[in-house]
Chains A and B, each alone.
Chain A
Amino acid sequence: DTEVTQTPKHLVMGMTNKKSLKCEQHMGHRAMYWYKQKAKKPPELMFVYSYEKLSINESVPSRFSPECPNSSLLNLHLHALQPEDSALYLCASSQPTTGTEAFFGQGTRLTVV
């Protein structure tokens, strides 16, 4: 199983809503990532978890709150987002060492209204 599963596939939320994005993998990977991708732009790294601990936060606003409850799950909690936060949110996983490949999910298309 080389799959990273993201739910939901699409999400529309208001600026006052609280929602969560979910990511799951069963490859035994101990590094998990969140990326944000705007239209016609490359994915931008947001967070990296290594062994269930946050190891990298690329200066992401606090309205995005990541959580890694166990080695298979990664959540991204959303609160008080702005319309400019509308994007494709991608999750990925890998072993936490250089020289290994990362597997990406198909993403959650988020629209903030």
Chain B
Amino acid sequence: DAKTTQPPSMDCAEGRAANLPCNHSTISGNEYVYWYRQIHSQGPQYIIHGLKNNETNEMASLIITEDRKSSTLILPHATLRDTAVYYCIVRPRGATNKLIFGTGTLLAVQP
């Protein structure tokens, strides 16, 4: 299974863009990159996922490098409610359906 590396913590000012990096240098060709977040004491929440192309939805944008060895999650206008642990996950291909969480990044949005 491809492993991911994320900084343990980051700060961001409210209203500014939050850019959360993730390294996944051993990713295989058919493995997706997923981002989830977990607000304190709640269940993880799906944010976005992608394979090769950049993706955008109402919550965030996902930028994947051309070699697919790293990605960046962008929250365009961070709010205090975006304070959470953000997990970058590479989902193994095949029928195993595993979703394995790494240690994640604690994003603290400051007023």
Interface residues of A (CB under 8 A from B): 4, 31, 33, 42-45, 48, 50, 55-56, 88, 90, 92, 94, 96-99, 101-107
Contacts and interface: CB of A to CB of B under 8 A. Distances in A.
12 contacts: A42-B85, A43-B38, A50-B97, A56-B96, A88-B41, A96-B95, A96-B97, A97-B97, A98-B32, A105-B43, A107-B42, A107-B43
Contacts, number: 64
Given A43-B38, A56-B96, A97-B97, 16 more contacts: A31-B97, A33-B97, A42-B85, A43-B101, A48-B97, A48-B98, A55-B95, A55-B97, A56-B97, A88-B41, A98-B30, A98-B97, A99-B51, A102-B99, A104-B43, A105-B43
Given A90-B44, A104-B44, A104-B45, A99 B99 contact: no
B53 interface: no
A102 B47 CA distance: 10
B68 interface: no
